[in-house]
Structure 1
Amino acid sequence: MTAAPSSGTTGKPTTGSSTTGGSFRSAFRHRAFALFWSARVCAMLAIQMQVVAVGWQMYDLTGSALDLGLVGLSQFLPSLALLLFAGHVVDNHDRKRVLFAALAVECAAVFGLFVATMAGALSPSAIFATVALIGAAKAFEGPANQALLSATVPVEDLPNAIGWQSSAIQVAQISGPALGGLLYIAGPAVVYGVSAAMLLLAVLLILATRPRPVTMVRRAMSWSTLLAGASFIRSRPEILGAISLDLFAVLLGGATALLPIYARDILHVGPWGLGLLRSAPALGALAMAVAITRWGVQRHAGRWMLIAVGGFGLATIVFGLSTDPVLSFVALLAVGATDQVSMFVRQTLIQLATPDDMRGRVGAVTSLFIGASNQLGEFESGAAAAAFGVVPAAVAGGVGAVALAGAWAWVFPALRRIDRLSETR
C-alpha cells in the first residue's frame, strides 16, 4: 500500500500501545485529553438533546415526514458550502480557538431556540434557519475536533484516545436522547435551555484545555490548498474506500430521521419512547467501542469493516419491518454496534496516516462525508418515506447497505486486504 507522508506524529506506536486497544489510563493520564474528552461529551449530549426536541416539535408543528428530512438537509447544506474553507482555516489558525468559536456559535443558536420557544414564536422556518446556523458552526467544529485530538496525546496513545473519544460520543448519544425525551415532557423550552447550558460548559472546558503546540505553515488560500485534503484521501484507496463505504451505507440505511414517525404511529411509544429508540444505536455502539478499546481490531480489519456494514444493513431491515418496541430497540442496538466497527476502522486509518499540517483539510473532507451520510441520509429517508411509505423506505435502505458492502469488497480490494491497522501508514 502507498506509504503515508512523513510527519512528526505519524510514527509507529511504541510497544504496549497499538490499534488493538489499551488501558483507560493510556489516554486519560493526559490532562489535555481528559478536558477535551469531557467537552466532547457535553457538546454531543447537548446536540443529541436538541435533536430530539427539534424532531418532535417539527413533527408536532407540521406532521410531515418530508419536513423531518428537510431539517437534516438544512443543517447539511451550510456545512457543505463551508467545509473546504473550514479545513483551510483549521490548518492555518489555532485549532483550539477555532473549536472554541464553533461551540460558542452552537451555544448561541440553541439558546435562540430556547428564547423563541419561551416566547411562543418558534416556527418551522425559524427551526430550519437555526439548524442551518448550527450546521455552519459544525463545518468548523468537525475538522477542529479531529485536528485537536492528535495534539492532546502523544502518538503512542492516539489509537486508545480514538477509542475513548468514540465512547464519549456514544455515552452522549445514549443519555442525550433519553434525557431529551424525558425533559420534553416538561416542554421543549426545558430541553433547549439545558442543551444551551451543556454547550456553554463545553466552551469553558475547551478554553481550559492546553494541547501540545503544533507547528503550522501559513499558506495562502487557493484551490490547490483547499483541495489538498481530498487529493490526499484519493491517493490512499483503502482510506477512500473506508470513507465512501461509511458514507453510502449510512446514506442508504439511515432511518433515524423516521424515528418520530415510528415512535408515534407504528410503535406507539410517545416522546419518552422516542428518546429510548434514539439512544439504542448509541448504546450498541458504546458496548462495541468499549470492547474495541479493550481488545481492539487485531487482524483482518478491512474484512471486519465490510462484514459490519452488511450487518448494519440487516439490522436496519429488521427495524424497518418491526412493530414490536422491544425488537425495534434490539435491532437499533445492532445498528449502532456494527456502525461503530466501521467508524473505528475509518477513523484510525485517517488519524494514523494524516500529517499534522493537513489534519484540518483532511478532517474537513471526512466531516463532509460524515455530514452527508447523516444529514443527507435523514433527507433521503424522509423523502423516500413521503414517496413510498415509511416501512418500504427503511427496508429498502437496509437492503441497499447490504448490497453496498458486497460491491465495495470488489471495487476497493485495498480496503478488503487491510489486516493490521498499524500497517496501513
Structure 2
Amino acid sequence: MTARRNSRSEILAPFEVRSFRFQWPADLMTSWASEMEILILGWYILTETGSVLLLTLYGALVYAGTLIAPLFGLWGDQFGHRNVLAAMRASYAAAAALMTAMAWLHLLNAGAVFAIASIAGMVRPSDLAMRNALVAETMPTDRLMAAMGVARTTADSARVFGALAGAGLFALLGMAPAYAAITVVYTGGFLLTLGVGAPRHSRVVMARTSFWRDLREGLTYVYDSPASLAAMWLAFLVNLTAYPLTLGLLPYVARDIYHVDQTGLGTLTASFAGGALAGSIGISFVGRSIRPARMMLVYAGAWYLALLGFVLAPGIGMGRVMLVLAGVAQSLSMTPMAVMLLHGASAAFRGRVMGVRMLAVYGLPIGLIVAGWLIERFGFPVTAAGYCVLGLGLTIVIAIRWYTSLWPVDAAANQR
C-alpha cells in the first residue's frame, strides 16, 4: 500500500508546480493537433498521388527544420523558452487556418500540401526540444525524471487518441471540417502556453555575442561530453532506421501491406503510441530508480527487435502487438536519454543542448527518403528488415565504443 501511494505521489508531484499545470495541457493539445494533421495529410498524399516516394518526401518535409533546431534552442536560451515556444505554436495555428481555408474553397492539392508542410516543417521539429528545456527550467531536479515521463505522455497519448480522432474526423466529415478542428486545437495549445510561468531560478543573463558563436559553443559542449555525444549518435541512428517504420511509412503499410483504410491506419498508429504511452506512464511511477544511460541502451536494442517482429508479422493482428511492444521500448529508451542530457547540461546551455539533440532528427527525413527509394525496388519487408538489423548492430557498436561513460553504475550518465 505504501509503495502504491509513493508511486502515485511520484506521478502527481510535477503538477504541484504551477507552470507545469499549464504546460502539460498546452503540450497535449499541440501534440493532438499535430498527430491528427500528419495522419490526415499522409493519407491524402498517398491517395492523391499513389506514390510511396512522395509519401516519404512529405514525411521528410515535416522534419525539414531539424537543421536549424539549434538556433531555436539558442533563441530559447536568450529570449526565454516559453516566449519562443508560444511564437512557434502561433505559427502552427496560422498554417492550419490557411489549410482549412484552402480546403473549404476547394483549392487544396498535393502541391499546396507540400508547400505548407515545408514552411511548418521549418518550425515544428524544435517543439519537443523547447518543451524539454522548459520542463527542466521550471521543475525541481528531484522531480525531473517523473516530470519528463508525465510530459512525454502528451505526445504518446496524442498518437493514440489524436490518430484515431484524425482518422475518424477525416472519414466522417471530410478534409475541411477535420482541418477546422485541428486549427481550434492548435489555438488552444498556443493560448495555454502563454500561461507557462517563469523559471525556478532567475534567468542567466547571456552576453550578446553572435548566434553562430553561441551555436558553436553548444556543439562544443556536447562534443566534449562522451555520454552526450553517444546519446546524439544513438538519437540519429533511431531517427534514421527506427522511426521511419512507424511514422512516415505506416500509411503505405496500412494500404499496400494490410489493405485497410484510414481507420485501420489509425489503429496501427494508435498501437505504437499506446505502447509508448504505457512506457511513459511507467517511467513516471519509477523515475527515481532508473539508471538513464543503461536504460537508454537496453531498450533501444529491444525497440529494434520489436520492429523486426512487426516487419515479419504474418497479419495485422500480430503487427499491432509488435507495434505496442516497440512503442513501450521507444519510451523506455528515449525518455531516459532526454533526462540524461538535461541533467548533464548547465542552465545556460539547456536550450542549445536540446537543439543539438534535435539535429539528430534529421536522420528521419533521410531514412524516409532512402526507404521510399528502396521499397520501390526491393519491397517493404526486405527494406524494413534491413533497417532493423542495421540499427541493432550499430546500437551495439555505440554501447561498446562509449562503454565506460554509459554502462558502469557509478558513471555520471547513470546517476539518478
The 1:340–1:27 alpha-carbon spacing in structure 2 relative to 1, beyond 3 Å, is same
Deviation sequence 1:319-378 (CA, Å, 0-9, x none): 122341111111111111111111122111011111111122112111221x22443333
Equivalent of 1:49, from 36, 39, 45? 36
Q: Distance in 2 between matches of 1:198 and 1:115?
A: 16
Equivalent of 1:243, from 212, 232, 240? 232
Equivalent of 1:70, from 42, 57, 63? 57
1:25-424 equivalences under 5 Å are 25-80=12-67, 82-138=68-124, 140-185=126-171, 186-212=173-199, 213-253=202-242, 254-256=244-246, 257-296=248-287, 298=289, 301-369=292-360, 371-419=361-409, 424=415
| Structure 2 residue identity aligned to 1:119 | L
Normalised to the residue count of structure 1, the TM-score between the two structures is 0.89
Conserved? CA contact 2:22–2:192, under 8 Å: yes
Q: Secondary structure at the match of 2:198?
A: coil
Q: Compare the two structures and name the one with the higher helix fraction.
A: 2
Q: Distance in 2 between matches of 1:192 and 1:412?
A: 46
Name whichever of 46-55 and 70-79 sits farther off. Answer: 70-79
| Structure 1 residue identity aligned to 2:177 | V
Conserved? CA contact 1:251–1:380, under 8 Å: no
Q: CA deviation at 1:279?
A: 1.4
Name whichever of 391-400 and 40-49 sits farther off. Answer: 391-400
Conserved? CA contact 1:322–1:328, under 8 Å: yes
Deviation sequence 1:256-280 (CA, Å, 0-9, x none): 2221122112212211110111111
The 1:66–1:386 alpha-carbon spacing in structure 2 relative to 1, beyond 3 Å, is same
Conserved? CA contact 1:302–1:419, under 8 Å: no
Q: CA deviation at 1:25?
A: 2.5
The 1:242–1:418 alpha-carbon spacing in structure 2 relative to 1, beyond 3 Å, is farther
Q: CA deviation at 1:300?
A: 5.1
Q: Distance in 2 between matches of 1:377 and 1:78?
A: 15
Percent identity of the aligned residues? 26
Q: Secondary structure at the match of 1:400?
A: helix
Q: Secondary structure at the match of 2:137?
A: coil
Q: CA deviation at 1:252?
A: 1.2
Instruction: Give structure 2 stretches of 5+ with no counterpart.
Output: none
| Structure 2 residue identity aligned to 1:194 | A
Instruction: Give structure 1 stretches of 5+ with no counterpart.
Output: 1-15
Q: Distance in 1 between matches of 2:271 and 2:286?
A: 23
Q: CA deviation at 1:35?
A: 0.6
Q: CA deviation at 1:53?
A: 0.5
TM-align CA RMSD:
2.2
Deviation sequence 1:367-390 (CA, Å, 0-9, x none): 221x22443333333232123212
Q: Distance in 1 between matches of 2:92 and 2:159?
A: 17
Count the aligned residue pairs.
405
Q: CA deviation at 1:297?
A: 7.0
The 1:151–1:222 alpha-carbon spacing in structure 2 relative to 1, beyond 3 Å, is closer
Conserved? CA contact 1:266–1:323, under 8 Å: no
Q: Secondary structure at the match of 1:122?
A: coil
| Structure 1 residue identity aligned to 2:47 | D
